[in-house]
């Protein structure tokens, strides 16, 4: 762990000869034992093969009696009574007759040459004597009867098999154990189970990610760069009496660049950087997690000043249970307790800065979140249009695009996309262009990539009846009509009736990027979502299962309006939303049965109101609605330009969402 070569070899006294550090001898001794084991096993196999002699061929007593004995080829027959078999020895002079036929041209060294099995009723003395008497006196064979024990099988059972098992255990267990005992830092040994699994990045390690590779995240980069700057220039801050935060927690949705930001810190900071995942602390053995935490901070203190990065810290930092004995995990809680102590306890961790990342900050233990452990929470949110443009520029720099490609157009088309989603779009566009044998990536390739990621792969081979296709067309036309005509609904970008993924039809919307939403906006969005169900009622006079996802969406939205956002007049300005995710000490619903009935009633009224609005819009614009459906049946894919031709222009900004 340390850099002292004499850590395990203290200096001798003045009268004792000084010796250098001893080299571990376990590996050499282990190799000698392994060689001896191989030699012994080989010798045993040689002994077995030497004692075995030639391999006798199976035959029948009938063939021996009718062919071999009358020709005078048999020298001796030995009958093994306890095994009910007989061994036939052929005369040397007659062996040449059988070499090619039975022994593949190679004469065996010794007998027996043939064996045959008999039943328990077989009388060897009677049968052999009868066959002998048919031959002349000077040409008769001899026979004897004996009982035989299988000493060779006993050797194989009691000696060879245990040796093979010992060799296997030696290779799988004892050698890694010796590596751990030999002090050579082997991490796979049983004695190293409590050692930290963190990866260390120093100046020598080429971490090629820098802040230049992190597009967007301007506010997050400022705070993280401040930590790096402190490690580089501590006097700048300490001169004023300031202290650098002991820890910073990166919080944000998946794919927003939290881990990438940490990699950039490792690439920018000229200090040791320890990287570990929260799940690396969790083990099946009791006490291993706490031991690994202690070992991690021990290494960090020896390398201070340094940075320790814990990715997905929610794996070990989840809030401790209040119901001990029912849902608690003692091992995980012990690990968390040790982490809390190491981050801010009686021991000093000067020069050790903790970075952590999670997308579930709401479930972390409150003791972990307090000042002194994680002083700062750095929110890494989904990128806005300007940040998406920067991210696209970073990923498109390695792509071969057409001349004059408008990257800003892609940023406008992808609100709600994370950095990981954008990287996936760029890669998918390159694959699509290569599949079409293009020399450069075009705008349409990116649009196809977005469609594939959001809606799934087109399934043109899926068999759909004409009646079903007509129903799907009117369903999607209902969505498009209502969303286009309602001022607060999400305007449509594209509609298709070609099956994608699990959906039979799909519609892409491009709403404005807003931080707050009014009741009117949510009602219009619900009406647009129910436009498909309303269209089926008007055209077919009956409903189908095609609106399942729409109903699921509006149901969740309606209940959220009542229980979370306080948008119901009857329920009032009450929110049952628990931002902590813990529900405190409550064991059930935080409202009465009467309130629950009221919530159900209000949610149903919201949905019914949106449904009536969708029906009204479709009936008032029946001609345009039918024209749109017929056009969709004809083209299979229609765009916002087609809706402008039918209904006229509408105002609105744009996002990609599937319905």
306-326 exposure pattern, b = at least 16 Cβ within 10 A, e = fewer: bbbbbbbbbbbbbbbeeeeee
Does the annotation count 403 as an active-site position? no
Between CA 34 and CA 22 the distance in angstroms is 23
CB 410 within 8 A of CB 392: yes
| φ, ψ (nearest 5 deg) of residue 90 | -90, 140
**How far is Cα 437 from Cα 432, in angstroms, rounded to an integer?**
9
Q: Helix 622-635 to helix 531-540 angle, to the nearest 10 degrees?
A: 100
109 closest CA partner among 56, 63, 160? 56
Instruction: In whole angstroms, give the CA distance from residue 635 to residue 476.
Output: 13
Q: In the structure encoding, which two tokens stand for residue 526, read together?
A: 């619900």
CA angle 144/149/152 to nearest 5° reads: 120
* Residues contacting 6, CB < 8 A, separation 6+: 21
For 92, residues 6+ apart whose C-beta sits below 8 A from its C-beta are none
**Sheet of 492-496: strands edge to edge?**
506-509, 492-496, 637-639
Closest by Cα among 389, 428, 436, 387 to 408 = 389
- Compute how many other C-beta atoms are within 10 angstroms of the C-beta atom of residue 248: 25
| Helices and strands (H and E) in the chain: how many | 25, 14
Report strand pairing: 114-117 vs 85-90.
Answer: antiparallel
Q: Give the chain's length.
A: 659
Which residue in 342, 476, 536, 602 is the catalytic one?
476
Q: Which residues contact 437 (CB under 8 A, 6 or more apart)?
A: none
Q: For the chain, what percentages of helix, strand and coil (3-state, to nearest 5) are there?
A: 50, 10, 40
Angle at 26 between CA 23 and CA 31, to 5 degrees: 120
Range list of H helices, 495-639? 519-529, 531-540, 548-563, 593-620, 622-635
Instruction: Kindly report whether the peptide bond that precedes residue 207 is cis, defined as omega within 30 degrees of 0.
Output: no
Three-state DSSP class for 346? coil
Rounded distance between C-alpha atoms, residue 640 and residue 492, angstroms: 6
Q: What is the C-alpha end-to-end distance of the chain, expressed in Å?
A: 57
Q: Known catalytic residues?
A: 476
């Amino acid at each position: 762990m340390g850099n002292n070569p004499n850590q395990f070899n203290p200096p001798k006294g003045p009268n004792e000869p000084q010796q250098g550090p001893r080299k571990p001898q376990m590996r050499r001794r282990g190799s000698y034992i392994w060689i001896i084991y191989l030699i012994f096993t080989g010798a045993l196999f040689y002994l077995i093969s030497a004692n075995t002699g030639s391999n006798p061929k199976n035959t029948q007593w009938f063939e021996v009696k009718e062919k071999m004995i009358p020709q005078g080829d048999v020298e001796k027959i030995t009958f093994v009574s306890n095994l009910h078999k007989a061994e036939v020895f052929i005369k040397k002079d007659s062996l040449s007759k059988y070499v090619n036929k039975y022994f593949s041209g190679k004469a065996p060294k010794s007998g027996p040459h043939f064996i045959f099995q008999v039943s328990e009723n077989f009388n060897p003395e009677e049968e052999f004597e009868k066959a002998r008497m048919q031959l002349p006196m000077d040409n008769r064979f001899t026979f004897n009867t004996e009982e035989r024990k299988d000493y060779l099988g006993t050797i194989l059972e009691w000696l060879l098999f245990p040796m093979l098992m010992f060799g296997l255990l030696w290779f799988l267990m004892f050698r890694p154990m010796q590596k751990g005992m030999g002090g050579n830092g082997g991490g796979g040994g049983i004695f190293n189970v409590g050692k930290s699994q963190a990866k260390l990045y120093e100046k020598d390690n080429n971490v090629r990610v820098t802040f230049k590779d992190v597009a967007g995240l301007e506010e997050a980069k400022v705070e993280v760069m401040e930590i790096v700057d402190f490690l580089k220039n501590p006097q700048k801050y300490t001169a004023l009496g300031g202290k650098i935060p002991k820890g910073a927690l990166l919080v944000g949705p998946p794919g927003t660049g939290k881990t990438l930001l940490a990699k950039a810190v490792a690439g920018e900071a000229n200090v040791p950087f320890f990287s570990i995942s929260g799940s690396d602390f969790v083990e099946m053995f009791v006490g291993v997690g706490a031991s690994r935490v202690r070992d991690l901070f021990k290494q960090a203190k020896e390398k201070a000043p340094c940075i320790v990065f814990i990715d997905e810290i929610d794996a070990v930092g989840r809030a401790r249970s209040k119901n001990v004995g029912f849902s608690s995990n003692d091992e995980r809680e012990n690990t968390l307790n040790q982490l809390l102590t190491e981050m801010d306890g009686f021991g000093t961790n000067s020069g050790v800065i903790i970075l952590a990342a999670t997308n579930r900050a709401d479930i972390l233990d409150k003791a972990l979140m307090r000042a002194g452990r994680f002083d700062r929470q750095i929110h890494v949110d989904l990128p806005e249009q300007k940040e998406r443009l920067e991210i696209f520029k970073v990923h498109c720099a390695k792509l071969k695009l057409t001349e004059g490609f408008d990257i800003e157009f892609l940023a406008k088309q992808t609100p709600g996309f994370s950095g990981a989603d954008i990287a996936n779009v760029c890669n998918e566009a390159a694959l699509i262009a290569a599949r079409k044998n293009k020399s450069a990536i075009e705008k349409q390739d990116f649009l196809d990539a977005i469609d594939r990621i959001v809606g799934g792969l087109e399934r043109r081979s899926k068999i759909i009846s004409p009646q079903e296709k007509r129903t799907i067309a009117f369903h999607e036309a209902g969505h498009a009509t209502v969303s286009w005509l309602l001022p607060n609904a999400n305007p449509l970008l594209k509609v298709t009736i070609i099956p994608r993924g699990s959906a039979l039809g799909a519609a892409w919307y491009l709403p404005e990027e807003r931080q707050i939403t009014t009741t009117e906006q949510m009602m219009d969005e619900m009406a647009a979502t129910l436009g498909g169900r309303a269209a089926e009622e008007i055209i077919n006079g009956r409903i189908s299962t095609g609106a399942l996802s729409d109903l699921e969406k509006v149901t969740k939205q309606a209940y959220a309006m009542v229980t979370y956002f306080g948008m119901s007049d009857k329920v009032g300005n009450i929110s049952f939303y628990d931002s902590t995710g813990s529900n405190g000490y409550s064991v059930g619903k935080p409202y009465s049965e009467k309130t629950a009935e009221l919530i159900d009633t209000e949610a149903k009224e919201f949905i019914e109101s949106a449904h009536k609005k969708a029906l009204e819009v479709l009936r008032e614009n029946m001609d345009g609605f039918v024209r749109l459906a017929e056009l969709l049946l004809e083209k299979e894919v229609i765009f916002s330009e087609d809706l402008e031709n039918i209904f006229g222009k509408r105002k609105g900004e744009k996002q990609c969402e599937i319905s």
